[in-house]
Amino acid sequence: MKSYPTELIRNLAVIGHGDSGKTQLISSLLYVAGATPRWGKVDEGTSTTDHEEDSIERKVTLNTAIAHLEHKDTKINLIDTPGYAAFVSHARPALRVADCALAVVHGGRGVEVQTEKTWAYANEFMLPRMMVINALDKEHADFGKSIESAQHVFSRAIIPFTLPIGKEKDFRGVVDVVHMKAYEFDEQGKAKEVDLPTEGRDVLDKARERLVELVAESDDALMEKYFEEGTLPDEDVIPGIKNAIARSKLCPVYAVSSTTLVGLSTLLDGIVDYAPNPAAHEAEHGRASMDGDGSEPISRKYSDSEPFSAYVFRTIADPFAGRINVMRIISGHVASDANVFNSKRGTSERLGALHSVQGKQLDKIDEAHAGDIIACVKLKDTQTGDTLCDKSAPIVYDGVEYPEAAIAFAIEPKSRQDEEKISVALHKILEEDPALSFTRDAQTKEFLLAGSGQLHVETVIDKLRKRYSVEVTLHPPKVPYKETITQRAEVQGRHKKQTGGRGQFGDCKVVFEPLPRGEGFIFEDKIFGGSVPQNFRPAIEKGIVEAASQGAVAGYPLIDFKAVLVDGSYHTVDSDEHSFRAAGRKAFRAAMEKVKPTLLEPIMDVEVVAPQEYSGDLMGDLNSRRGRVQGMEMRGNQQVIKAQVPMSEMLNYQSTLNSITAARGSYHMQFSHYDQVPHQIAQKIVEQARAEGRIRAEEEE
């Protein structure tokens, strides 16, 4: 395959709500441009970018996928992004490496929730945008209403560049507002010029006038000319459009149907003519090294004349090809078998063969230029978010921050064989999907798999089973309750056994006192003299620590208390470490009858972000979860509610949040502190612990 210079490359991240038709649009564009011989269809499981088994089965895009085509000698890289809430965070790395976002809106539904969310991601990266109103052949599709909804939600600078000819099943062509021409399309998506329709001429004239006005507004010199002449000639309008789009002063909208191929060739013309090429960026900023040595920030221009650098934005764990790293070349050019430097990890890599990506297919290329997207196979150390560069001119680019996992589930291997395979399999899945986290809870000893939603975690379980033959069960995680004491008490722990021959003897007096929350456990030795020899005293502490780990109320570890050793006695023959450890355990148990132990629960700092109109319902729900609202603030046009809520009340929060906000809200939480469990709830926890066998009968010493 040939390589393309920077000016002849267009990189577009295709964003939008689930079921708006992004994946089908990409497959149809590839077919119309002749990049694929067969027209791939989502319904048939043959689309180019939804090639993973799970995606085909669920008819849902689960992660970003890349495809490319050539139109008018220009290479167009299209990055398909997920549109469902559980996977939408994967749109962020795609937007990080794109030069333009192509927002897809369903003609029958207008702008939906995840379109808003991904549009906000594009704002973060200050990315120019184009828009497609898709599915205009469907029942109830309305181009005018869809445009109005986009202008209302986003900006008045959203302007139609094509208008539909015909409606719903009669949608057969488009009018090009820029060039004032009309086209109808055959079943292969080929355009034939026709006369401008007389019907709706006032809509066309108004759209053209608004377009010229916006182009004039984007440039001071053009604005002056516009005021003098009342309009602008085409020779000013066309270059002015490119400039206005690049500066995000204008978002062109195209009328299309990805299932009948109407309007697609006109959209391809628009992408080539108006979407910015990589060189339109001023520069990409980074730093000289990972260690933050105080050096000035450095940058690279999207040019072949700069030293080589590339940002890795996607890792694919392919069962056959191994690890595939997909990267965008930011500066310089690169040939196959090049030796490069991973500046984030401080290691050298040999690139081997370079590939252009077409869904699951990799096509070898000899070289690639600044701005292009390529893939390399079987690199040793490189992961998503890494920078590859020329060792003599190191640079590290900032990676993409994924939102904190919102929901965690405990996973349990079904067999010993599964237990052995699970960590290797999950490591590969985590390489592909940095939005996941896999940890082991030190207290409950459970393996926790966390993701952005229940569906996200369930797809991982499916992947473990189908791809890696690992069977696991999924259940809500256990809440890591703790216990503490509320009163002071002085007790004696005495262990004495005589069984013929040498006996066992240990005796200690210990004062137990509560400590402030978060202080943990303190052991203090206040014995003066030799009532207990020095070498036996640590054994008393060990015995108390062992007993505290088993708890006193519901079998949870006891924390935030102090044990002061004040006295004791020993036997010259029968005393040993084991006896004093047993004495320490008995002292603990005796104390628990006097110090009024109680249950503690983890309290989480919760931050909920949602449109303002839902704040009343959200606060009501948080209050019903025993939450305490700490404050509210506006962040852009979103309301942020900060609260402290017990962890046990947040295990099913994601589904409730989606229900209240129509999936327009998000949240994250982190541990804050432990607090006392209300008496009625504590009783239920104790009953459950008894049923689970967590409360142990007193050991025989």
What's the rounded Cα separation, in Å, for the pair 605 and 626? Answer: 13
| Alpha carbon separation from 337 to 6, 162, 312, 355 (Å, rounded) | 21, 45, 17, 12
Burial class (CB in 10 A: 0-12, 13-18, 19+), 311: buried
SS3 assignment for 207-231: HHHHHHHHHHHCCHHHHHHHHHHCC
561, 512 Cβ separation under 8 angstroms? yes
Mean pLDDT, all residues of the chain: 91
pTM, whole model, 2 decimals?
0.78
Assign 699 a pLDDT band (cuts: 50, 70, 90): very low
> How crowded is residue 479: how many other Cβ atoms within 10 Å of its Cβ?
18
pLDDT tens digits, residue range 32-90?
A: 999 999 998 988 888 989 877 777 777 778 889 999 999 999 999 999 999 887 788 88
C-alpha closest to that of 198 among 175, 230, 222, 167? 175
What's the rounded Cα separation, in Å, for the pair 182 and 665? Answer: 42
Assign 701 a pLDDT band (cuts: 50, 70, 90): very low
The length of the chain, given as a count of residues: 701
pLDDT tens digits, residue range 421-473?
A: 888 889 888 888 988 988 887 767 788 898 877 788 888 999 899 888 999 99
pLDDT tens digits, residue range 90-123?
A: 899 999 999 999 999 999 988 887 898 899 999 9
* pLDDT score, position 295: 62
* pLDDT score, position 156: 81
* pLDDT score, position 700: 40
pLDDT tens digits, residue range 362-415?
A: 999 999 999 999 999 989 999 999 999 999 999 999 989 887 776 778 898 888
* pLDDT score, position 291: 65
* pLDDT score, position 636: 63
pLDDT tens digits, residue range 117-154?
A: 899 999 999 999 999 999 999 999 999 999 999 998 89
Per DSSP, 58 falls in state H
Question: Under DSSP, is residue 536 helix (H, G, I), strand (E, B) or coil?
Answer: helix
Report CA torsion sign: 159, 162, 165, 171. Answer: negative
Question: Structural domains in the chain?
Answer: 7-194+250-280 (3.40.50.300), 284-397 (2.40.30.10), 407-475 (3.30.70.870), 483-596 (3.30.230.10), 601-685 (3.30.70.240)
